[in-house]
């Protein structure tokens, strides 16, 4: 009888232990998790209509972190695509007894495009802004974030760069004082690094060959602006702010209401969240009343569809010649 009681108690205890063992649980709107570089990444399968901006709001993660975790993913997402969402949780490895080493600050490895840049007197990698570039576009081109560029250059978060302005892209690596570490033989560049370097060389050659720059052809061919002349490039106005739809719009053209631009002005409007752009024609003055007080411009429904945003309010950057 006592042997039967002991056997029953052992089975109950083993079942309780199996029930209490922790197991990683994925969020209900994902398909699993994985760990990479000591970070937790949520695997999310894209459904119809989802954008990077929408995923950032759902998981409460900055857009720049999602772009970085997915090798510079930009533009619209494809249905069924797997997107990695980084989370703040860090997996700690057990400490091993070892002699403590002096802390050394090591900079993140620079991309091939960054290494091709010129350096200033302080050893910083610098980039001279070309027409049409924004802080977000520069960060995407050199595989960094707008926040990091703002930190290196002392900018505000919503800073608008100017043509000809010199931007610090990467600072030199710093470490503890002492003898230089032995030089390690460089490894061969990966296929991705080679592709990035080729793209950087092509963009540099295109920038040098097209001076002054010519604005891209708009989607509506009937409203295509003329190429930008040299004197126009020096007078070009760049603004950033919030945009909304014109509630009474019923046309199928790319139109806008702006607070200061003259009627008839052709204006480039770029969605900062996904890089989509459209050319619109200003048809009237936007009154500075009601909710327009915090809005830069209003767009026709056709123009908003072109910018591919599901939000009622979204941040844009405009560029035009007054």
For the stretch 125-178, pLDDT in tens is: 999 999 988 888 888 888 898 888 888 888 876 778 888 888 898 888 754 344
- Please state, in angstroms and rounded to a whole number, the distance separating the CA atoms of residues 161 and 136: 10
| CA distances from residue 240 to 9, 148, 158, 183 in whole angstroms, order as listed | 70, 19, 8, 46
Q: Tell me, which fold does domain 29-91 have in CATH?
A: Membrane-bound Lytic Murein Transglycosylase D; Chain A (3.10.350)
Domain ranges of the chain: 29-91, 112-171+190-209, 221-320
d(CA 114, CA 199): 12
The strand pairing partners of 83, in sequence order, are 44
Predicted pLDDT of residue 6 = 53
- Same fold? 29-91, 112-171+190-209: yes
Tell me the sheet residues that pair with 280.
267
Mean pLDDT along residues 233-246: 86
Q: What confidence tier does 187 reach under pLDDT thresholds 50, 70, 90?
A: low
Report the distance separating Cα 243 and Cα 304, nearest Å: 9
* Collapsed DSSP state (helix, strand, coil) of residue 240: strand
CA–CA distance, 265 with 281 (Å, rounded to integer):
6
Q: What are phi and psi of 192, to 5 degrees?
A: -65, -45
Query: What is the rounded average pLDDT of the residues 238-259?
Result: 90
Percent of the chain with pLDDT strictly greater than 90: 18
β-strands 266-271, 314-320 pairing: antiparallel
What pLDDT, on the 0 to 100 scale, is given for residue 317?
93
Architecture of domain 112-171+190-209: Roll (3.10)
Q: Is the pLDDT of residue 314 over 70?
A: yes
CATH number at 221-320: 2.40.40.10
Which pairs count as long-range contacts for 51-56, CB under 8 Å and 24+ apart, including other chains?
A: 51/76, 51/77, 51/273, 51/274, 51/308, 51/309, 51/310, 52/77, 52/83, 52/273, 52/274, 53/273, 53/274, 53/309, 53/311, 54/310, 55/83, 55/85
Predicted confidence (pLDDT) per residue in 72-92, tens digit: 776 778 888 888 888 765 444
Report the percentage of the chain scoring pLDDT > 70.
Answer: 64
pTM: 0.32
Q: In this predicted structure, what is the pLDDT of residue 8? A: 54
What is the CA angle 194-198-204, rounded to 5? 145
* pLDDT tens, position by position, 47-73: 988 888 888 888 888 888 888 888 877
């Amino acid at each position: 009888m006592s042997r039967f009681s002991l056997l029953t108690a052992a089975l109950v205890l083993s079942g309780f232990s199996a029930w209490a063992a922790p197991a990683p649980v994925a969020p209900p709107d994902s398909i699993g998790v994985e760990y990479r570089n000591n970070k937790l990444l949520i695997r999310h399968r894209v459904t119809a209509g989802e954008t990077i901006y929408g995923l950032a709001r759902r998981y409460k993660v900055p857009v720049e972190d999602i772009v970085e975790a997915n090798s510079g993913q930009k533009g619209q997402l494809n249905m069924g695509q797997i997107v990695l969402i980084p989370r703040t949780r860090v997996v700690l490895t057990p400490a091993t007894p070892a002699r403590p080493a002096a802390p050394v600050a090591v900079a993140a490895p620079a991309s091939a495009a960054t290494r091709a840049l010129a350096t200033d007197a302080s050893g910083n990698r610098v980039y001279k802004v070309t027409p049409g570039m924004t802080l977000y576009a520069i960060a995407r081109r050199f595989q960094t974030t707008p926040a990091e560029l703002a930190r290196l250059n002392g900018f505000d978060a919503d800073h608008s760069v100017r043509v000809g302005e010199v931007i610090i892209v990467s600072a030199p690596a710093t470490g503890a004082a002492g003898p230089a570490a032995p030089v390690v033989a460089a490894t061969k560049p990966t296929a991705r690094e080679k592709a990035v370097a080729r793209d950087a060389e092509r963009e540099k050659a295109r920038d040098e060959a097209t001076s002054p720059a010519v604005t891209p052809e708009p989607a509506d061919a009937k409203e295509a602006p003329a190429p930008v002349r040299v004197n126009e490039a020096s007078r070009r106005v760049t603004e950033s702010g919030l945009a909304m739809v014109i509630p009474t719009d019923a046309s199928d053209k790319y139109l806008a209401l702006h607070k200061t631009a003259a009627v008839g002005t052709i204006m480039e409007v770029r969605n900062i969240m996904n890089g989509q752009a459209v050319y619109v024609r200003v048809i009237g003055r936007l009154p500075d009343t009601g909710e327009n007080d915090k809005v830069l411009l209003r767009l026709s429904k056709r123009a908003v569809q072109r910018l591919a945003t599901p939000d009622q309010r979204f941040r844009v950057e405009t560029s035009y010649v007054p």
